Amino acid sequence: MQKLLLFFLLCGLPATVFCQKVLIAVEFQNRLVCGIHNYFTIAAENIPNDSLFLKTNNGVVTNDEGFFKTTPTSLGEATISIYKIHGHDTLFLTSQIFQVINVGEYATASFDNKSEGAISPKRLRATHQLTARVENLAFHFDLRIASYRVMILRNDSLLFTKHYQSDSIPKEVKEQFRTAQSGDIIYFLDIQVLTPVNLTYTLNSIRLRVE
């Protein structure tokens, strides 16, 4: 799925570099997402992909069955340099600097597609997991929630709270939801998502009022 999400197409202001007949095209204004696999393509005139060698100063960059992939591991900047393999040596062609962004700033956690507001008792009982989605970039994709804390209040008194290493709603929480009353407040706190390279981000809290 990530190949489709991050397959590089040129968009917005020109974000391409021409140097010795090599084209680097990025999907969204020279940005890469930290902690996930960013796929891209390179157009090098008269140079096949298997004759290109790439390096980066942030994370790793590889050739994945004809699709180039880079996975930055720290925020800030990443430089990708492209070389032509020439015998036992390499010939520098071009390089480009990318901004590496925190995906957590663009991700939103939700329960029944809500981050706040009212929820009916029926929907409260019927929803079985938390979700997290990245939407404010040039692409959309889901992240896996690794852990969260649930807290239930009634008339400002704490009824239940517990931390879970999962994205699903366990049986004991479902039982609490089954007996929820109108006006109860459901919080999901300390929501953490895990990226494919095991970086974690803490997302927004969720506050829902039972109708």
pLDDT in tens, 151-206: 999 999 999 999 999 999 999 999 999 999 999 999 999 999 988 777 888 999 99
Q: Tell me which residue of 136, 152, 156, 151 sits closest to 191, measured CA to CA.
A: 151
How far is CA 115 from each of CA 17, 45, 50, 108, 192, rounded to the nearest angstrom?
Answer: 41, 49, 46, 8, 15
Q: Are 59 and 35 in contact (CB under 8 A)?
A: no
Q: Which CATH architecture has domain 2-101?
A: Sandwich (2.60)
* Structural domain spans, the chain: 2-101, 104-210
Residue 99 to residue 84: CA distance in whole angstroms: 24
Q: Three-state DSSP class for 28?
A: coil
pLDDT digits (tens, 9 = 90+) for 113-133: 999 999 999 999 999 999 998
Q: Which fold, 104-210?
A: Immunoglobulin-like (2.60.40)
**Global pTM exceeds 0.75:** no
